Structure 1
Amino acid sequence: MSRTVAFIGLGHMGGPMAVNLAKAGHRVLGHDLVPAAVETAAGSGVEPAASAAGAVAAADVVVSMLPAGRHVLSLYDGILTAARPGTLFVDCSTIDVADARTAHERAVAAGVRALDAPVSGGVVGAEAATLTFMAGGGEAEFAEAGPLLEVMGKRAVHCGGPGAGQAAKICNNMILGVSMIAVSEAFVLGESLGLSHQALYDVASTASGQCWSLSVNCPVPGPVPTSPANRAYRPGFAASLMAKDLGLAANAAREGGVHAELGMRAAELYARYAEHVGDSEDFSGIVRTVRDRSGAEG
C-alpha cells in the first residue's frame, strides 16, 4: 500500500533512503536544511517540501535521519504539533538511548506514535537498500513501519521497547569498532613479520579470526576488492560516525557501570583518529594510524 512519507534529513544516508521509498511508489515529501541535498533527492522522485512542518502535516509516516539527539529533539519540538493524530514517527538517526526515549515520550504526549530505528550498513547499504534496521517501540508500530523498512533495507529486527533500537546499534558498533582495530593491528603485525596481506587474509578469513571487519571491510588494499581500502579509504562508514557511535557506547557503559575496557579504548582511538580525518576517510583507515604509530612501512 502506497503511503505519504515525510522524510526529514536527506544527507548521505537519508537521501538514498528517501529515493528508494519514492522508487517503490510511495509519495515522499523531503526536507533538509541543505538545498543541494533536497535538489539531489528531487532528481530521483522525492518531492521537495518548503518546511519540515509542512511535510509532516501531509504525511502518514514521518522518517528522520539526523546527526545527533539534540537535532532529533529540536525537530520533534517543532513538528509534532503539525502532525495528524496517530501519525507514525520513525527516527533512523543514531542517538543516545536517553534521547531516543525522550523523543518517544514527547511523541506520545503529542498524540502520535514513535519508533526508534537506527540502521547498519552505511552509505553503500542505504544506496543498495540493504540496510539492517534495529527497532525500539511497540509491536504495532514496528509492524506498521515494516513495509517501509523492507523497501529501504534487507532486515529489520524488533529489539524491544523505546530506546532498544539505539541500544542494539551502539552495542553492535562497539563490536565493530573493536574488531576493526584488532584486524588492523593484526595486518600491521603481519607486515612487520614479513607476511603478505593476502596470506594473512587467506588464513584468517577461513579460520577463527574471520569477522565482518576482515571479510567485507578489510582495512588493507588487495584481498577484498570492494573494501574502502581499495579506493583510498573513501568512506562507506566515515571515521567521524564511528567515533560518534563509540562515544555513545562509552557514555552508556559509564552510566551503567559496565567495565568495557576495549570499548572505552576503541572510543578513545577513534575520537583521536576522527579529529584528523573527520568525514573524509572510512573508519577502516585507522590501520594507517596503527602503522604510523608503529613506525612500520606500508
Structure 2
Amino acid sequence: MATIGFIGLGNMGSGMCANLVKAGHNVRAFDLNPDAVARAESAGADGVDSAAAAVTDADAVVTMLPAGKHVRAVYETDVFETAAPGTLMMDCSTIDVDTAKAVGKLAAAKGFLFVDSPVSGGVAAADAGTLTFMVGGPEEAFQRAEEFLSIMGKAVIHAGDAGTGQAAKICNNMLLAITMIGTSEAFALAEKLGLDQQKFYDISSKASGQSWSMTSYCPVPGPVETSPANRGYQPGFATAMMLKDLKLAMDAAAASGATTPLGAQSEALYAMFDNLGGGTADFSGIYKLLDGSWKGD
C-alpha cells in the first residue's frame, strides 16, 4: 500500500481519487473547494487542508488541475518544496506542452520522477477506472507510474519524453472535435433529407463513415443509450473543456508551424457554441447548433 497525495478533485479527479482508495492505497486529498474534499473523504480518502500536507512523506503525487499556470504554481510552490527526493509525480491535467516540459525538467533537476499523463475518457471513465493515459517522461518514471495509472485506467501508453503525453492529448482531442462536428453535420443533413436518424446510424455505423463519435458517443438521441444526447447533453466532456483543448492545439500548431485548417474551424465552431451558452453542455451538443435547434438552453 502506498501513500498518495492527490491534488485537484474536480469532476475527473474525484473519481480517479476514489479508485486509488478502492485499490487499497492511503490517499491524502486536497482541493481548494471544501465540498470536493468532503466528497473525497466520503470515498475513503484523508482530506487535508493544503497541497503541501497532501504530499508530505508521500510515495507518489497525482495532480489534476485546470491549466498550465496552476500546475506550475502548485509544483514550484508546494510539491517540489515539500516532497521527499525520489517521489513519483504524475500530472494528469491537460495543459500546454511547454509547461509540461518545463515542470518535468525542473522535477528531474530536483531529483524527482515526473510524468505528464493527461487522460481521455470523460467523467464516466474516471469514475469507472477506464481512462486512457498518454504518458510523457523518462522510462524509469513511466515504469513506476504505470502501477498507479493502471488502477485508474484501462490503457496506459508511454508516448515518449517529457511533454509528449500532452502532445498526444491535444492532437487526439483536436481529432475528436473534428469527427464530432462531421458526425453531427451528417446527422443534421440526413434529417433534412428525410432519413430516419436511427436508420442513418444503422447504415453509417457499419459503413465508411463509422467513428468513435458515432458509435460510442452518438450526438443524436436514441442510437447509443449511454451517449449524453440521451440525457439532455449533460457532460460528459463539457464544451468549455473541449474549447480549452482546441485552443491548446491551435497554440501548439502555430508554435510548430503545423497546418491545421479543420482544427481551426473546429475551434471557431466550439467558440461560437460556447458564446451562445453551450459551454456547460456536453461537446456533442454541437449537433444542436448545427441542426438549428440550439436555444441557449
TM-score (norm 1): 0.96
Aligned to 2:291, the other structure's residue is in SS state helix
Structure 2: how far apart are the matches of 1:76 and 1:114?
Answer: 11
Q: Does 1:36 align with 2:17?
A: no
Pairwise CA distance, 1:15: 0.6
Give the letter aligned to residue 187 of structure 1. F
Q: State the partner residue of 2:265.
A: 265
Task: Note the C-alpha offset of 1:279.
Answer: 4.8
In 1, Cα distance between equivalents of 2:247 and 2:43: 35
CA positional deviation for 1:156 = 0.3
CA offset at residue 203 of structure 1?
Answer: 0.6
Call closer, same or farther: CA 1:165–1:279 in 2, change over 3 Å: same
Secondary structure in 1 aligned to 2:224? coil
2:119·2:132 contact (CA, 8 Å) conserved in 1? yes
Pair 1:54–1:24, CA change in 2 (3 A): same
The unaligned stretches of length 5 or more in structure 1 are none
- Contact 2:100–2:116 under 8 Å retained in 1: yes
Shift of 1:278: 5.4
CA distance in 1, matches of 2:27, 2:188: 47
- Aligned pairs (5 A) from 1:84-163: 84-163=84-163
Report SS of the residue matched to 1:292.
coil
Q: Report what 2:47 is aligned to.
A: 48
Q: Which runs of 5 or more residues in structure 2 are unaligned? A: none
Match of 1:11 in 2: 10
Aligned residue for 1:13, secondary structure, equals helix
> Conserved in 2, the CA contact under 8 Å of 1:239 and 1:277?
no
Secondary structure of the residue aligned to 1:50 is coil
Question: Which residue pairs with 1:214 in the alignment?
Answer: 214
Matches within 5 A, 1:132-211: 132-211=132-211
Could you tell me which amino acid in structure 2 is paired with residue 52 of structure 1? A
Distance 2:82 2:174 in 1: 37
Letter in 2 for 1:251: D
- Quote the sequence identity (%): 52
The one-letter amino acid of 1:201's match is Y
Q: Give the 3-state SS of the residue equivalent to 1:89 in structure 2.
A: strand
- The CA deviation at 1:258 is 1.1
Question: Given residue 44 of structure 1, which amino acid in structure 2 is its aligned partner?
Answer: A
- SS at 1:184 equivalent: helix
Q: Distance in 2 between matches of 1:206 and 1:51?
A: 51
Deviations 1:48-87 (A, max 9, x none): 0121111111211010000000000010111211010011
SS at match of 2:221: coil
Query: Partners in 2 of 1:58 and 1:67 — Cα distance?
Result: 25
CA contact (8 A) 1:81 1:110 kept: no
**Structure 1 residues 278 and 100 mapped into 2: Cα distance closer, same or farther (>3 Å)?**
farther
* Aligned residues of 2:273 and 2:279 also touching (Cα < 8 A): no
SS of corresponding position for 2:292: helix
Aligned partner letter, 1:197: Q
Equivalent position of 1:281 in the other structure: 281
Amino acid at match of 2:255: E
What's the offset of the Cα at 1:39? 0.2
What is the match of residue 224 of structure 1?
Answer: 224
Aligned residues: 294
Distance in 2 (CA, whole Å) between partners of 1:42 and 1:293 is 42
**Structure 1 Cα separation of the partners of residues 85 and 277 of structure 2:** 44
> CA–CA distance in 1 between the matches of 2:276 and 2:17?
31
Query: What do you get for the CA RMSD once the two structures are aligned?
Result: 1.4
